[in-house]
Amino acid sequence: MRIVILGAGAIGQLYGAMLSQGDKNDVSLVERDQAAIDAIGAHGISCAFGDERLEAHPPVMRAEDVEGEPDLVLLCTKTPDTTEALEQARGYLGEGTYVLSLQNGLGNAELIKRFVDPGRVLIGMCTYNADRTGLCSVRSSGEGIIKFMPLTSEVSDLARAVERAFNEAGLECEVHEDVWRDVWQKAAYNAALNSTSAVCRVPCGGMGILNKGMDLCNDIIDEACAVAEAYGVEVDATRLKNDLRRKIFGSEKDHITSMAQDVIMHRQTEVGSINGAFVRYAAAKGLSAPYNEAMFCLIKSIESTYDMQVDSIL
Ligand SMILES: NC(=O)C1=CN([C@@H]2O[C@H](COP(=O)(O)OP(=O)(O)OC[C@H]3O[C@@H](n4cnc5c(N)ncnc54)[C@H](OP(=O)(O)O)[C@@H]3O)[C@@H](O)[C@H]2O)C=CC1
Ligand SMILES: CC(C)(CO)C(=O)C(=O)O
């Protein structure tokens, strides 16, 4: 399968390195950061899974250098960059090209539908984690699952081939007719963990240190799940809260959430499509979502004051 990965950041490098193993797939990455293009071009990608290391050398380029039309475009930019990335991909989005988003947050399918027919939109979620450790290196606990669905709920041969490609690459993956419940649950999980860990600038394990931190995460989850239910999506808040507790004391303890990575690196975050989305979806049903709104306002304030923040007074 010919795959173009849009965004050679943390998760893009993880997928890129794993999917390009062997000779089954023809994988390339598209990146806008020239320093990352140069580093990956010179050294390849290095993925660390504890003491194990995987090295891979997939080609990486700018959008204008992609030749031909891939079978699959795998979106690995942050959500505020999706529109720009797909604009730049217009030249190689062919009649047969599918676009898959496993990005966090809500509203990703709506954005992709502006560029390809709904029949070629694949939407889902991923619980793998990836932390950048350099321009061309990442680390991951290596644990997780990917679930996705065709937006039209018709599971095509291509969707099955995508599922197979991920599984053969060692990334557990399932395609179903409907994974909206998983997408909303993942968004609720991120609304709690990503925003709080980003405010505190700590790895996930840091949120387990104080019961108060866990209580706040649980309140955000309860509120996000109530919004999901208002849209007819049945989510299991208790399971999510247990999952959160298990992961922040276990496999995700050292992971720095993608939103905390953004705040630490002074970048724009995905808070608008995570906590912000719950606030908007709640308002559209006449509900309020005060915990999510507070986290949204805090992260937006942090984002807009990077150049004013004080690290020391001496
Ligand atoms: N990291 C993780 O553990 C997980 C991440 N996710 C999701 O995966 C997605 C990607 O996250 P993550 O990998 O952490 O993000 P990163 O910020 O590490 O990577 C995104 C990359 O996309 C690049 N990019 C932005 N715009 C374009 C463009 N127009 N063309 C080409 N490249 C572009 C960025 O470049 P630049 O540096 O210039 O901004 C950056 O290198 C997000 O939606 C996130 O929520 C989901 C599960 C886990
Ligand atoms: C925390 C994690 C890895 C969820 O499993 C995530 O989605 C992120 O860092 O954005």
CATH code, domain with 269:
1.10.1040.10
Residues 171 and 186 in one domain: no
Ligand with the closest atom to the CA of 11: 1
Residues 111 and 192 in one domain: no
Q: Which residues line ligand 2 (CB under 6 A)?
A: 104, 127, 129, 190, 193-194, 252, 255, 257-258
Question: Among all chains, which residue has been given the structure tokens 């795959």?
Answer: 3
* Run of H or E residues at 96: none
Query: What does the pLDDT read at residue 210?
Result: 87
Closest CA to 79 of 242, 274, 228: 274
Question: Which of 172, 194, 248 to probe ligand 2 with, by most ligand atoms within 8 A of CB?
Answer: 194
**Residue 30 falls within a domain, yes or no?**
yes
Rounded Cα distance, 206 and 117, in Å: 43
- Residue 25 to residues 15, 166, 174, Cα–Cα distance (Å): 12, 10, 18
Q: Per-residue pLDDT for 13 more than 90? A: yes
Q: Which residues contact 312 (CB under 8 A, 6 or more apart)?
A: none
- Residue 119 to residues 62, 100, 285, Cα–Cα distance (Å): 27, 11, 28
**Residue 57 falls within a domain, yes or no?**
yes
Q: Please tell me the total count of domains within the chain.
A: 2
In this prediction the ipTM stands at 0.99
The amino acid occupying position 305 is T
**How confident is the model over 247-296, as pLDDT tens digits?**
999 989 999 999 999 999 999 999 999 999 999 999 999 999 999 999 99
Ligand with the closest atom to the CA of 29: 1
Q: What is the pLDDT averaged over residues 73-83?
A: 98
**How confident is the model over 100-150, as pLDDT tens digits?**
999 999 999 999 999 999 999 999 999 999 999 999 999 999 999 999 999
Ligand with the closest atom to the CA of 194: 2
Domain termination site, one of 178, 203, 221:
178
Nearest CA, atom 1, ligand 2: 257
Instruction: pLDDT band for 211, please (50, 70, 90 cuts).
Output: confident
Rounded Cα distance, 207 and 248, in Å: 7
Q: Which domain covers residue 290, as residue numbers?
A: 181-305
Distance 161 CA to ligand 1 centre (A): 24
**Residue 312 falls within a domain, yes or no?**
no
